[in-house]
Structure formats: structure tokens, C-alpha cells
A and B are shown apart, each in its own frame.
Chain A
Amino acid sequence: MTKPLLEVRDLVVRYGSRGLFRGQPRPAVSGVSLSLAPGQTLGVVGESGSGKSSLLRAILRLVPSESGKVVLDGQDWLALSPRELRRARQDIGVVAQNPFLSLSPRMTIAEILAEPLLARQGLARRGLQDRAAELLSRCGLPADFLPRRARELSGGQAQRVAIARALALDPKLLVLDEPTSALDISVQAQILNFLSDLKAESGLSMLFVTHNLKVVAHISDHLVVMRNGEVLEQGTTAELMSAPRHDYTHRLFGFGMRARQTAV
């Protein structure tokens, strides 16, 4: 078995309690462990309050962790100094839920795509435009989008730009935070297909966080179901889909048209 790319062990995230005499609040993430093998996609699914967002933000070090360990590519991620973290973050590409919020409204697509390239020190400023155009075409968008702004694009196109930006520095890990939840079904399908292609072509490792079990089941090799800050169950997608151990997982799957059809 290969060494995991990302490993989370007994991670605890607790948001600070305000006021001296308040008791400690319940942790948002309490002792979560998971691991992601290189080239694999790990889906984390949970409803609101499940702790999936806190887990994600803790892994990205946007919120501090109380205890536990995060190892990315052999590096003790939580021990990095702010300076080291800044560089190390370039190994992770992040795609957020709503591209119109995650892409700056003031910048052109060219400027948006140049930003991560400029952030990596030692990268030549020359050829930025070409590199940006190359990224766009890799994501199935024409180069004439470069001078436009995100709000002039459709939701699907803007999300592709966000993915292009996340891929700009050839990250080891692509983190997707509800990347299709703001999109229409037909556009969601385009984005999911595109992510599948990426995975097949470049062996990219992905951490896919969402509330939609059906979306994440489609693309993930492994699934983690979270509830109340804990991992309810985890396993391969096939295992979880065919024989969920928990009634809760079953309910997440067992709603809607497929369930009805199979019941008939």
C-alpha cells in the first residue's frame, strides 16, 4: 500500500468560547481521522452542522485545530510556520462553492489566473498571458475570455475559471468545497465530467466536500460520512452505496427518484 498523500488523525476543532465563565463548547470536529491515497478522490459528505466545513477549514489552516495531526505529503502540516505555510499552500488548489464570490469582481480572468503564478516566487513574469490561456484551454474555455470579468460568464464557465486557477501551480491536492452546489443540473454534469477527466488524465488527488451524497458518490473512490462532528462511517464508495451500515447514510441515499424506481 502506498503512503497516503493526505492523512488526518484525531483532529479536533473547537471554536473559542467567549466569556470567562462559559463552559467549553462542544467541538465542531471531534477526533476525525481519514486518509487520501495519491490519485484518489475522497468524498466527505455531511449535512449542516456535521462539521465537514470546519474539518475542511482546519485542513486548510483557515481555523486553528485544538489537537490532532494533519500530514500532507509527509509534511507535518499543522506545525508549519506562517512563512512556510504560505509556500506550502501552493501545493493545494482550492475550489469554492460559488465562483462569483471566489473570483474577485474587480479583476479580469487574465489577472485572476496570473495571481497564483505571481505568488510563486521565482516564476517568470513573462509568458503569464500564455500560461493563463493554456490553463483556460485545459479547462475547456477559449482564450478570448481572458480580458473579461467573472460576472460576464455563466455559472459553469466561472466555475471552470476557478478550477483553472486552482490548477495553475500544478497542486498535489485539489480541494473542492461544494463545487457544484450553486450550479444547474446540466452544468453540474459538465463540471463533474471535467473533474473525472482531470482525474483520469493527470492522476490528480481530490478532496471533495459536499452535502450532496449523490454528487460525491459519483466521483469519489472513498467516502466519509460525517455527522455531529464525527465520522459516522467510511469506506469505498461501492461499499457504502451497496451496504450502508448506518440508517442515516441509507436515508441520505434513499431519497428521490432512484429509490422510488427501485422500490416499484
Chain B
Amino acid sequence: MRGLHQRLGWPGAVSLALILIAFGMALLAPWVAPFPDQGAGAPSIATKFLPPSADHLLGTDHLGRDMVSRVIYGARVSLSSGLLIVAFSLLIGLPVGVLAGYFGGWLDEGLMRITDVFLAFPALLLAVLMAAALGPGLLNSIVAVAVTWWPWYARMARAEVLALRGQPYVEAAQLMGVGHPRIILRHILPAAVRPLSVQAALDVGPALLTASALSFLGLGVLPPTADWGQMVDAGRKFFPERWWYSAAPGMAVFILALAFSVLGDALRDRAGGRRDGSA
């Protein structure tokens, strides 16, 4: 890892470290959480509403569960939903954008009008509608957000492909009689993926925020599974007397969303400073 801060800058390197720590804790939750069973949802009424202390660094909730453990377990859901939203969105947006940009013509027109329809709705409203229609649940909320998210990747992919389409080396392949699938896979995608992946990294934070917002509204995962948005919502009833209940997951969302955004900026600066194709 020597020189990481030189390549990403200090803010970027710190953000990356924070994100890695969060992922590590989410993966190793049963081992790193001080009260794994409480983190997973088991109540402990005797210890309810304890303020932060040496035993419970972030206090306990209305069922007496250790907030540190709950936040760590909540990271599993929140991080994976952030990542899955971006992944699903790329899965739809990338092919749509690449096909539209590469083939142009009526296919481009058609696909872009469809993305326009999705872009015309306010994203959160559409996500709420989708989630309400699909019913609560982790997968449903991920799908609901991804539906509002993919058009952006489609637009971006299309713009990248349009620029690459005119590159002499792409034209050269076409003139050699190389087939479309191979041109797309060999020449277009590898070059388009780099800027898109930077954007995707930038978007994990907002995706996580949106997913948290949905579960805050009761449209995400169901208790007793821990999720940051749902925890903030649950703690709201006891605010401000038991402030730690909402504050702990709220800070977690805030810090991670910020870290993803700073890291994305650092990656973009790096990608922008280098010539295409140096990878």
C-alpha cells in the first residue's frame, strides 16, 4: 500500500481506509461485534435505553440491544444494498447505453426515449412508488432504487461509446470486417469501463443513502434485521431524550456516504489526469 496517499491524496486514502474498515466489520460482524446475538436482533430488555458508556460505547436501544453491535450488523445490509443498487443499475444501464451509442439510429432513439421517461420522474418518488408496489423487503428496495438509477449509467455509457466510436482504431477494426460483438467487447467496453467505474464508485454513497431513506420510510428491510435507515427511524420516536439511538446509525450513514464521495472524487482526478488507455 506504499504510496497510496500519493496516488489518491490524503482525503482519498483515508476514505478508502474507512470504506475498507466498514466492509471488514460488516463481513466479520459476528466476530467484531461486542454482542453478536444482540446485533442480529436478540432483545435484552434488562439493559434497555442505556446511554453511551464503557460497556456500550453507543448506548443501547429500546430492546436493550448494544448500538455498536447493531450498527455493525446494519452495515451488512446498508453496504450490500448500496453496492447491489449500483451493480443492478450498471447491469441494465451499461448494455442499454452501449447498444444505443454503438448502433445509433432508431435503436438509439428508442432506448434513449425510454431512459428519458425514467429520468423524467423525481428519483426518490419513483423509488418510493416502486418499493410500495413491490412491498417491503431488502431485494425489493434494491430493485426499486436501481430502477431510478440505471438511466444515468445508460446516458453516460452512451456518451463514452459515441466518443470511442469515432476513434480511428475502432474504425480500423470495422474496416477490417471485424464483427460488431467483437468490436464492442474488444475495443469499446474496455475503454468505456474505466470512467464508468469511477462514476459507480462515486454513486455507492448516494445509493446507500437512498436505500437508507427507503427503509427509514418503512419500505426497506423488516425488523429485527438491522439496517441504518430503519434504525434512524426507530430511534426517532425517542428523540431527543435518547439521542444516541438515531445518532449512531445516522453518523454511520453520513460518514460512509461522505467517504464514498471523497474517494470517487480522488479516483476521478486520477483518471482525468492520465491519458486514456494507460491502464
Do A's and B's CB atoms come within 8 Å in the complex?
Answer: yes
Contact A119/B176 with A101-B167, A104-B187, A106-B277 known, Cβ cut-off 8 Å? yes
| Contact of A103 with B169 in the complex, beta carbons under 8 Å | yes
Point out the residues of chain A lying under 8 angstroms from B186, CB to CB: 104, 107, 115
Docked Cα-Cα span, A98 to B169, in Å, equals: 10
What 1/0 mask marks residues of chain A from 88 to 101 whose CB sits below 8 Å from any chain B CB?
A: 11101010111001
Docked Cα-Cα span, A119 to B180, in Å, equals: 11
What 1/0 mask marks residues of chain B from 178 to 208 whose CB sits below 8 Å from any chain A CB?
A: 1100100011001100000000000000000
A62 at the interface (CB under 8 A from B): yes
Docked Cα-Cα span, A101 to B187, in Å, equals: 13
| Contact of B277 with A116 in the complex, beta carbons under 8 Å | no
Interface set, chain A 60-95, CB cutoff 8 A to B: 60, 62, 86-90, 92, 94
| Contact of B175 with A119 in the complex, beta carbons under 8 Å | no
A120 at the interface (CB under 8 A from B): yes
Point out the residues of chain B lying under 8 angstroms from A88, CB to CB: 177
Among A90, A103, A105, the residue within 8 A (CB) of B176 is A90
B173 at the interface (CB under 8 A from A): yes
| Contact of A89 with B176 in the complex, beta carbons under 8 Å | yes
- Given A119-B179, A169-B176, output 10 extra A-B contacts at Cβ < 8 Å: A62-B175, A87-B177, A89-B174, A89-B176, A101-B169, A102-B172, A107-B186, A116-B176, A118-B178, A119-B182
Give the residue name and chain of the A residue nearest to B190 (CB): A106
Docked Cα-Cα span, A96 to B276, in Å, equals: 20
Point out the residues of chain B lying under 8 angstroms from A118, CB to CB: 178, 182
| Contact of B191 with A94 in the complex, beta carbons under 8 Å | no
Point out the residues of chain A lying under 8 angstroms from B278, CB to CB: 105
B171 at the interface (CB under 8 A from A): yes
How large, as a class, is the contact surface on chain A? 20 to 34
In this complex, the member of A87, A88, A89 whose beta carbon has the largest number of chain B beta carbons within 10 angstroms is A89
Min CB gap A101→B, angstroms = 4
Docked Cα-Cα span, A62 to B165, in Å, equals: 12
| Contact of B175 with A104 in the complex, beta carbons under 8 Å | no
Point out the residues of chain A lying under 8 angstroms from B177, CB to CB: 86-90, 116, 119-120
Point out the residues of chain B lying under 8 angstroms from A101, CB to CB: 167-169
Docked Cα-Cα span, A104 to B279, in Å, equals: 12
Interface set, chain B 223-273, CB cutoff 8 A to A: none
| Contact of B176 with A115 in the complex, beta carbons under 8 Å | yes
Docked Cα-Cα span, A92 to B171, in Å, equals: 13
Docked Cα-Cα span, A94 to B174, in Å, equals: 11
| Contact of B179 with A86 in the complex, beta carbons under 8 Å | yes
Give the residue name and chain of the A residue nearest to B276 (CB): A105
Docked Cα-Cα span, A103 to B173, in Å, equals: 9
Docked Cα-Cα span, A258 to B172, in Å, equals: 37
Which are the 4 A-B pairs with shortest beta-carbon distances?
A105-B277, A102-B168, A101-B168, A116-B176
Point out the residues of chain B lying under 8 angstroms from A165, CB to CB: 172, 176
Docked Cα-Cα span, A101 to B276, in Å, equals: 11
Docked Cα-Cα span, A252 to B178, in Å, equals: 38
Min CB gap B139→A, angstroms = 36
Min CB gap A61→B, angstroms = 9
Min CB gap B240→A, angstroms = 56
Give the residue name and chain of the B residue nearest to A61 (CB): B175
